[in-house]
Chains A and B, each alone.
Chain A
Amino acid sequence: MPDQPLQPFAPPTALLQYLPSGLNISPGLVVTWTLYAVFAFWALYTLVAIYHWLKYSHASWIAFPAIAVHLVVSFVIMSYALSGPAYFLAPYLP
């Protein structure tokens, strides 16, 4: 058991000083590009899943609502992660 309280994570600003002086990278920019990388992986996974839905779901009517719900929920989460407070999460946030 640690005997010291955990400290909030701080972006590694000490490492950023080793970057070329012309590169002015803010922690916010790093977070944004990390999010873009995660979203790119999500897009690839979603494309594969949609391909399977459309090819193997036996033309079931469930395929389109399932894909639509996934896309809508994912875009809501992404917009929250990128841009800020979301009314649907506000009551649950600490």
Chain B
Amino acid sequence: MREFELEPGEHVVLEARKHWFLFLGELLPYAILLILPFALPKLLVLAPPMAQYASVFDYHTILGRAGLGVWLLIWWTSAWGAFTRYFLNAWVLTNMRIVNIKQRRYFYRAVSSLFLSRVQDVTTDVNGVLSSILGIGDIKVQTAGEDIEFVMKGIPHPEKMRDVILRYVSLKPQNTGV
């Protein structure tokens, strides 16, 4: 771990990221933009008043080919950047604490820890038909005393994560090393 050092006796229990279905939803605009230069000429042909514009999309010329190449490169790289940010945003649960890693954008990274000894309440929230079917939900961890809470939205099977957190919260301090 580069962001935080594990204490003696500490080990990673699980890592959680946003549900893959939500990530696919984030990729959808990129996919539409990637296929747009291929789909648009064919769609224009289907609409007779607009058919004359289809000839603008000629990718056999140097300029057309370069334009298409740049277009594809921009949106492919953007989609890959979205995957990078998806992967680098994570919750790490150890037997001592919860680590919330937020990668908002490149070079903007926030890592915060919440020790399990301070956890007072863990709440899960699954709303909607699709979320219930796919097991997508939010989890909120609140601490005793201060109004600090960790919230992670759109994680897979939040109730399982809640059970794991509560299992480690309920362990005796000597077992958790806290």
A46 partner residues in chain B, CB cutoff 8 A: 77
The contact string, 1 if C-beta is below 8 Å from chain A, for chain B 59-100, is: 111110110111011001100110110011000000000000
B174 partner residues in chain A, CB cutoff 8 A: none
Contact B66 A74 (CB under 8 A): no
CA distance A73 to B69 in the complex (A): 11
Residue of A nearest to B56 (CB): A6
Listed by A's residue number, 13 A-B pairs whose Cβ atoms lie within 8 Å are A8-B61, A27-B62, A31-B62, A39-B73, A42-B77, A56-B2, A70-B80, A74-B73, A74-B77, A80-B68, A80-B72, A81-B66, A94-B38
Number of B positions contacting A (CB below 8 A): 39
B-binding residues in A (CB < 8 A): 5-6, 8-9, 11, 27-28, 31, 34-35, 38-39, 42, 45-46, 48-49, 52-53, 55-58, 60, 62, 66, 70, 73-74, 77-78, 80-82, 84-85, 92-94
Chain B contact residues: helix, strand, loop or mixed: helix
CA distance A74 to B66 in the complex (A): 14
CA distance A86 to B154 in the complex (A): 39
Checking A48, A92, A94 against B106 with a beta-carbon cut-off of 8 angstroms, the contacting residue is A48
A-binding residues in B (CB < 8 A): 1-3, 15, 38, 41-42, 52-63, 65-66, 68-70, 72-73, 76-77, 80-81, 83-84, 87-88, 101, 103, 106-107, 109
CA distance A56 to B106 in the complex (A): 11
Chain A contact residues: helix, strand, loop or mixed: helix
Contact A49 B81 (CB under 8 A): yes
Checking B3, B38, B103 against A93 with a beta-carbon cut-off of 8 angstroms, the contacting residue is B38
Checking A42, A56, A62, A77 against B109 with a beta-carbon cut-off of 8 angstroms, the contacting residue is A56
Given contacts A49-B84, A77-B69, A81-B69, 17 further A-B contacts (CB under 8 A): A31-B63, A34-B66, A45-B81, A48-B107, A49-B80, A53-B84, A57-B87, A58-B15, A60-B87, A66-B83, A70-B77, A74-B73, A77-B72, A81-B68, A85-B60, A92-B38, A94-B38
Known A77-B76, A94-B59; judge A35-B52 contact (CB<8 A): no
A66 partner residues in chain B, CB cutoff 8 A: 80, 83-84, 87
Contact A5 B53 (CB under 8 A): yes
Contact A78 B73 (CB under 8 A): yes
Known A31-B66, A93-B38; judge A56-B58 contact (CB<8 A): no
Contact B68 A94 (CB under 8 A): no
CA distance A86 to B59 in the complex (A): 11
